[in-house]
């Protein structure tokens, strides 16, 4: 993502350009709405109400937000090291497997306060392991991480289908899923916690992993900008020969950054498997890994931006569900399309308005 020549003032670069990009994405979305004969304004109202207008809806929004923070951070961390991890999807999937295996194996023996941390660590470790090999191959054999992580997404999918249809399948079930975990392995829902404090909140899948996601944001920020590992990671990302000169080993950094990225993506498993589904099932990662790419691009790879972008996508997902309910012509796929548009305008066409802005602003200054 190199920047073309021609200087722009900081505010234009940091605020105006991204704003124009997002507006473009939503403009095109509006046009699609008009094309299919629905009012974009009406749709926006429904989506806003669905996402923020009532407690259950808001709970759902934050529940989706949780997943997107994890996958967005995963993409961003790798990006800072100059790596494009499009394997978040597979890493999230396998991360869930880790959490699930820990619970299936130990939920009869351990109390919650040991089991849950163990399952959280397991999902991070499994996610990391799934990213380790692409990272290793990039670092030591020069195989491009973009391609290998794509391949690993498919491998994750095949592996899960095999495990859930042959090994972990609950014989009492028709569908390919494992047995339900014992309740010790369930993460507390927010509505239950609030009820415990005497506050009533409608039921939603929102659970404590939301706070885990926020903690991860802070930790990632500290790691990238305040520790020497972050310094090394950014050095490798912006100038790997300078890294070698400085005595940093890019190969080592690439491997651990990929593992960290995979671990963050793997934490989706905590929210989904421990928090909501309480058993292993097929396709629970549902494209969250890919949303992470949009989130990271839109949030400019900064944790604060990622939280905001995740919230936006959380609202889109939840509002989109509401929309599908109210407008028979529309399904959740509309959100997938918007996601594509955002990646297009905020990512691929990031600099489209730049020459225009440069011309406008310089003519004003002159």
Partner 1 sequence: MDFYVIAVLTLDATVRVSAPLILAALAGLFSERSGVVDISLEGKMLAGAFTAACVAYLANSAWMGLAAAIVVSWSLAMLHGFACITHRGNQVVSGVAINILVAGLSIVLGLVWFHQGGQTPNLPNTARFTEIVLPGAEAVKNVPVLGELYYELIGGHNILVYIAFAAVPVVWWIVYRSRFGLRLRAVGENPKAVDTAGISVAWLRYRALMLNGVLCGMAGAYISTAQNAQFVRDMTAGQGYMALAALIFGKWRPVPVMFACLLFGFLDAVAVRLQGVEVPGIGVVPVQLIESLPYILTVVLLAGFIGKAIAPKAIGEPYTKER
Partner 2 sequence: MTVHTSQPAGSKDPASAASSPPALELINISKRFGAVQANKNISLSVPAGTIQGIVGENGAGKSTLMSIIYGFYEADEGQVKVDGKVCTIRSSQDAIRAGIGMVHQHFMLVDNFSVIENVMLGAEGGALLRQGREHVRNELLRLGREYNLEVDPDAIVGELSVGLQQRVEILKALYRGARILILDEPTGVLTPQETDELFRILFSLREQGVTVILITHKLREIIDATTQVAVMRAGEVVAHRLTAQTSKEELAELMVGRKVLLQVNKADAQAGQVLMEVSHLCVNDAQGVRRVKDVSFQLRAGEVVGIAGVSGNGQSELLEAMSGILPVGSGTITLGGASISAESPKDPAQLRELGLAHVPEDRHRMGVVTAFSAKESAILGHHHYPEFNGKVLMNQEAILSSYKEKAETYDIRPRDPHLKSANFSGGNQQKIVLAREMEHDPAVLLIGQPTRGVDIGAIEFIHQRIIAMRDAGKAILLVSVELEEIMSVSDRILVMCDGQITGEVNASEANERTLGLLMANAQQEEVSA
Quick one: 59 or 250, whose CB is closer to partner 1?
250
- Cβ atoms within 10 Å of 19's Cβ, excluding its own: 12
CA distances from 7 to 19, 299, 310 (A): 18, 22, 30
Mapped onto helix, strand or coil, the DSSP state of residue 287 is coil
159 binds partner 1 (CB under 8 A): yes
227 binds partner 2 (CB under 8 A): yes
Binder of residue 282, out of partner 2, partner 1, none (CB less than 5 to 8 A by kind): none
Assigned token pair, 166: 């042959």
Binder of residue 14, out of partner 1, partner 2, none (CB less than 5 to 8 A by kind): none
Quick one: 19 or 36, whose CB is closer to partner 1?
36
Assigned token pair, 216: 């991860």
C-beta separation of 123 from 273 below 8 A = yes
Quick one: 119 or 306, whose CB is closer to partner 1?
306
Q: Which of 38, 89, 107, 232 binds partner 2 (CB under 8 A)?
A: 232
How far is Cα 139 from Cα 50, in angstroms, rounded to an integer? 45
The footprint of partner 2 on residues 194-223 (CB under 8 A) is: 222
Q: Which of 43, 76, 86, 270 binds partner 1 (CB under 8 A)?
A: 86
Could you tell me which of 18, 24, 17 has the C-alpha nearest to residue 341? Answer: 24
Quick one: 134 or 269, whose CB is closer to partner 1?
134
Assigned token pair, 288: 């969250």
Could you tell me which of 335, 297, 337 has the C-alpha nearest to residue 316? Answer: 335
Q: Which of 5, 197, 199, 365 binds partner 2 (CB under 8 A)?
A: 5
How far is Cα 244 from Cα 242, in angstroms, rounded to an integer? 5
Q: Which of 26, 84, 231, 256 binds partner 1 (CB under 8 A)?
A: 84
Q: Which of 244, 282, 286, 336 binds partner 2 (CB under 8 A)?
A: 244
- Cβ atoms within 10 Å of 24's Cβ, excluding its own: 18
- Minimum separation from the CB atom of position 353 to partner 2 (A): 18
CA distances from 345 to 35, 76, 85, 250 (A): 20, 18, 19, 31
Q: 277: Cβ–Cβ under 8 A, 6 or more apart, which residues?
A: 284
Q: In this chain, which stretch among 175-183, 206-214, 301-309, 324-332 interacts with partner 1, using CB under 8 A?
A: 324-332
Q: Which residues of this chain interact with partner 2, rule CB under 8 A?
A: 5-7, 222, 226-228, 231-232, 234-235, 238-239, 241-242, 244-249
Q: Which residues of this chain interact with partner 1, rule CB under 8 A?
A: 1-2, 4, 32, 36-37, 84, 86, 133, 137, 141-144, 146-148, 150-152, 154-155, 158-159, 161-162, 166, 290, 293-294, 297, 329-331, 333-341, 343-344, 347-352
């Amino acid at each position: 993502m190199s920047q073309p020549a021609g200087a722009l003032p900081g505010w234009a670069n940091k605020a105006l350009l991204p704003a124009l990009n997002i507006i473009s994405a939503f403009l095109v979305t509006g046009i699609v709405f008009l094309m299919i004969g629905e009012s974009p304004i009406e749709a926006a109202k429904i989506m806003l109400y669905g996402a923020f207008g009532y407690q259950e809806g808001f709970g759902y929004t934050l529940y989706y937000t949780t997943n997107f923070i994890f996958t967005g951070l995963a993409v961003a961390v790798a990006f800072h090291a100059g790596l494009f991890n499009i394997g978040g999807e597979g890493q999230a999937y396998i991360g869930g497997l880790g959490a699930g295996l820990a619970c299936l194996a130990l939920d009869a023996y351990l109390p919650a306060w040991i089991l849950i941390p163990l399952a959280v660590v397991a999902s991070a470790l499994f996610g990391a392991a799934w990213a380790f090999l692409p990272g290793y191959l990039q670092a030591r054999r020069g195989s491009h991480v973009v391609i290998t992580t794509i391949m690993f997404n498919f491998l994750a999918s095949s592996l899960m289908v095999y495990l859930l249809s042959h090994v972990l399948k609950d014989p009492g079930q028709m569908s390919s899923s494992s047995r339900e975990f014992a309740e010790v392995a369930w993460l507390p829902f927010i509505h239950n916690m609030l009820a415990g404090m005497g506050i009533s909140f409608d039921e939603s899948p929102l659970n404590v992993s939301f706070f885990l996601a926020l903690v991860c944001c802070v930790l990632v920020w500290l790691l990238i900008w305040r520790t020497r590992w972050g310094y090394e990671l950014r050095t490798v990302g912006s100038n790997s020969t300078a890294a070698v000169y400085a005595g940093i080993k890019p190969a080592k950094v690439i491997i651990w950054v990929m593992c960290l990225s995979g671990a963050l993506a793997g934490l989706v498993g905590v929210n989904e498997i421990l928090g909501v589904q309480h058993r292993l099932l097929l396709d629970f990662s549902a494209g969250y890994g890919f949303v992470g790419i949009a989130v990271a691009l839109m949030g400019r790879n900064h944790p604060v931006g990622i939280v905001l972008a995740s919230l936006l996508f959380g609202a889109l997902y939840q509002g989109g569900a509401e929309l599908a309910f109210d407008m028979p012509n529309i399904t959740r796929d509309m959100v997938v399309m918007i996601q594509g548009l955002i990646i297009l305008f905020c990512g691929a066409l990031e600099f489209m308005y730049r020459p225009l802005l440069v011309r406008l602003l310089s003519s004003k200054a002159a």
